[in-house]
Amino acid sequence: MPQEKFDPVSQLTPPAEGGLSRRTVIQTAGALGLGAGVLAFLSACGVSSSTGSTAVAGAKGGTLTLGVDATAGVFDPAFYSSLGDWMVVDSVCRGLTKITFDSNEPKPDLATGWTISDDGLTYVFSLRKNVKMHDGTIFSSADVLRSYQRQFDPKDVTLPKGASRQIASVGLNVASMTATDANTFTMVLKNKDMRLPARLSDVGGRIISAAAIEKYGADIGKHLVGSGPFSFVSATAGQQAVLAAFPGYWAGRPKIDRLVMQQVQDQSTIISSLISGDISATQFTPFSSVAQLKANKAVTVYKTPDGADAILMMDTRKESLKELEVRQAINLAIDRKAILNKAFYGAGAVPKGYCIPPSQAGYDDSLAAISVQNVAKAKALLAKVGAVGRTVKLISASDSWHVTAAQIIAQNLTDIGLVVVSESVSPASYAGRLFNPADASHELMIWERNSYVPDPDNMIGSLASPTSVYGNFLSGWGTTYPADQAAFFATALATARNTKDGPDRTAQYTKIQQKFADEVMVVAMLGNFTNPVVSSSKVKGINVAALSAHRCFMEMATVN
């Protein structure tokens, strides 16, 4: 489109020799419009203006470029800004434990091991010795203590405004933390939590250099210092983050020289960048193009498990959604098959369990009835509470499957008698809108839950916890649901958390999910899906299962 202002006054005077006539200017303006259209067309064809960083074929080392959803240029384990930014955190910092996604069992990482007291309340972590941080300091228990303090204490002065504190719920159960000595860290819990080592493997459990925290304070996200395989080099918000292989990484220098997280939001650009090699790999592959990419020898399409939940969150604090019946009606109105076919192009499954996806322990398809469409019942529920004709606001990110699902849901809700006001939001600012309950459109929110930690406690545990980010910030049910009944969830989740995987644990989670759906209903399942990982055929050694869950373990990757 023309971006220059047209001012006829300047065109009223005869043109100087060799100058522009008015006709020429108008034609140029028209051409600009045409040019904009051509640009849009080229964009649609996937021609990127970005030079990007290319995986160097045949070279030793080289650059691995991952296509990511967005980057805000802030990389802080206590502050969620985008999935891409947290992949940077994952690469720069490591935690005491890690889950490599070949199982849901946590393994030692910066801790070499841990002991648990007989009562299950005291964890003593033995820390890895002589681990270098990127700022030259040696990793110690002080770094662990300081990093967890930021996560657990909402008043920590080094927290940026709007900090999400991913593992804050772990902190609610922590009685004390002690840097026993340089290589020993002790955590005492209030209540037993068998899943603690797994929960500490979350992105929020990543350890930052204490010296860097003191140096940069709340700006640590712009100068992230960890001990991971890659060190932070530079970042440009909205464009890319550049990381370099850290020669001092305790497990050995990564095989690639540079790791670049390149923001690529345009779907056709993702496809062409993958084929051309401008992007080495991504898990943000458009669902619509998976079949096409499978036929292309330049890329590899990996088979990954359905480990993510597509959900519709409902804010119980909002007048339009205050009645349980309205929320149940919304859940019953949704056409999941249409969402699976049109938003995910079949790359997923209609939910048969509830919040726990099929790839995880605890999945139970006896819960399938929760997510079955029943328009007549939905209409009856709305009529019962006099909510027919009520206006509800629906927001979604403007990329990926969100916007398509939003339109399907909008029609579903219209069909049962609600008036839907939809808004699609830039992916870069969507999370900010979601985590702001005061946002005017914070009513119905399309979201997805990925298993950062592949454990049922991570999925249903955070949704059904009245004190979690989901219970408080997003849905508000922790404040609107009767407190005495909310206690059930805290107790039941704690019990399930401390039960070994197996039928007993599954049964406990089934009971929790059923009650959560029947009595709270702030989460309507839209589908289970996988984030389709596609890489250049020259890329080897990436942890595909982890990348599909938006975790980034690239130390073994090669681009040769």
Residue 65 identity: T
Strands 122-127 and 111-116: antiparallel
- Residue 129 dihedral angles phi and psi, to the nearest 5°: -95, 155
Cβ 23 to other proteins shortest distance, Å = 6
> Maximum Cα–Cα distance for the chain, whole Å?
94
Q: Report the C-alpha gap between 478 and 467 in whole angstroms.
A: 6
| Selected range binding other proteins among 40-48, 64-72, 213-221, 354-362, rule: CB under 8 A | 40-48
**Which 3-state string (H, E, C) describes 34-69?**
HHHHHHHHHHHCCCCCCCCCCCCCCCCCCEEEEEEC
Q: Report the C-alpha gap between 159 and 157 in whole angstroms.
A: 6
| Selected range binding other proteins among 32-40, 168-176, 493-501, 550-558, rule: CB under 8 A | 32-40
Residue 9 or 483: the one with the smaller Cβ distance to other proteins is: 9
Q: Which residues pair with 126 in a beta bridge?
A: 113, 184
Q: Which of 20, 22, 194, 239 binds other proteins (CB under 8 A)?
A: 22
Task: Please give the residues from 300 up to 339 whose contact with other proteins meets the rule CB under 8 A.
Answer: 338
Cα–Cα–Cα angle for 161, 85, 463, rounded to 5 degrees? 70
Cβ 67 to other proteins shortest distance, Å = 15
Is residue 222 a contact point for other proteins (CB under 8 A)? no
Residue 290 or 559: the one with the smaller Cβ distance to other proteins is: 290
Cβ 378 to other proteins shortest distance, Å = 17
Using alpha carbons only, how large is the chain's radius of gyration in Å?
25
Cβ 445 to other proteins shortest distance, Å = 15
Is residue 422 a contact point for other proteins (CB under 8 A)? yes
Strands 230-236 and 240-245: antiparallel
Tell me if 311 sits within 8 A of 464, measured CB to CB: no
534-536 sheet: strands from edge to edge: 230-236, 240-245, 258-263, 63-68, 281-282, 534-536, 299-301
Task: Please give the residues from 241 up to 300 whose contact with other proteins meets the rule CB under 8 A.
Answer: 266-268, 286, 288-289, 292
| Selected range binding other proteins among 39-47, 94-102, 164-172, 192-200, rule: CB under 8 A | 39-47
261 to 258, 321, 479, 497, 532: CA distances (angstroms):
10, 39, 38, 35, 17
Q: Report the C-alpha gap between 552 and 280 in whole angstroms.
A: 14
| Selected range binding other proteins among 143-151, 323-331, 382-390, 406-414, rule: CB under 8 A | 406-414
Is residue 3 a contact point for other proteins (CB under 8 A)? yes
Is residue 342 a contact point for other proteins (CB under 8 A)? yes
Is residue 369 a contact point for other proteins (CB under 8 A)? no
Cβ 392 to other proteins shortest distance, Å = 14
Is residue 214 a contact point for other proteins (CB under 8 A)? no
Please report the DSSP string for 398-413 in residue order. Answer: SSTTHHHHHHHHHHHH
Cβ 221 to other proteins shortest distance, Å = 22
Q: Report the C-alpha gap between 540 and 196 in whole angstroms.
A: 32
Is residue 103 a contact point for other proteins (CB under 8 A)? no
Cα–Cα–Cα angle for 459, 462, 468, rounded to 5 degrees? 165
Q: Binding pattern to other proteins, positions 439-458, x when CB under 8 A?
A: -x------------------
Closest to 80 in 3D by CA, of 146, 167, 178, 180? 167
| Selected range binding other proteins among 7-15, 193-201, 239-247, 449-457, rule: CB under 8 A | 7-15
Cβ 479 to other proteins shortest distance, Å = 26
Q: Which of 410, 469, 494, 523 binds other proteins (CB under 8 A)?
A: 410
Is residue 14 a contact point for other proteins (CB under 8 A)? yes
Residue 378 identity: A
Q: Which of 16, 18, 20, 27 binds other proteins (CB under 8 A)?
A: 27
Q: In what helix (H) or strand (E) does residue 327 lie, and over which residues does it extend?
A: helix 324-333
Is residue 404 a contact point for other proteins (CB under 8 A)? yes
User: Residue 302: CA atoms inside 13 Å, Cβ hemisphere, count?
Assistant: 26
- Size, binding site for other proteins by CB under 8 A: 52
Is residue 126 a contact point for other proteins (CB under 8 A)? no
| Selected range binding other proteins among 51-59, 367-375, 416-424, 457-465, rule: CB under 8 A | 416-424
Q: Which of 40, 138, 251, 368 binds other proteins (CB under 8 A)?
A: 40
Residue 121 or 403: the one with the smaller Cβ distance to other proteins is: 403
Q: Report the C-alpha gap between 429 and 70 in whole angstroms.
A: 9
Tokens (6 digits) for 301: 């399409």
Is residue 29 a contact point for other proteins (CB under 8 A)? yes
Residue 253 or 318: the one with the smaller Cβ distance to other proteins is: 318
Residue 366 or 411: the one with the smaller Cβ distance to other proteins is: 411
Q: Report the C-alpha gap between 55 and 244 in whole angstroms.
A: 14
Is residue 113 a contact point for other proteins (CB under 8 A)? no
Question: Residue holding tokens 């049962």?
Answer: 416
Cβ 237 to other proteins shortest distance, Å = 15
Q: Report the C-alpha gap between 4 and 490 in whole angstroms.
A: 59
List contacts with other proteins (CB under 8 A).
Answer: 1-3, 5-9, 11-14, 22-23, 26-27, 29-30, 33-34, 36-37, 40-41, 43-46, 266-268, 286, 288-289, 292, 338, 341-342, 398, 403-404, 406-408, 410-411, 422-426, 440
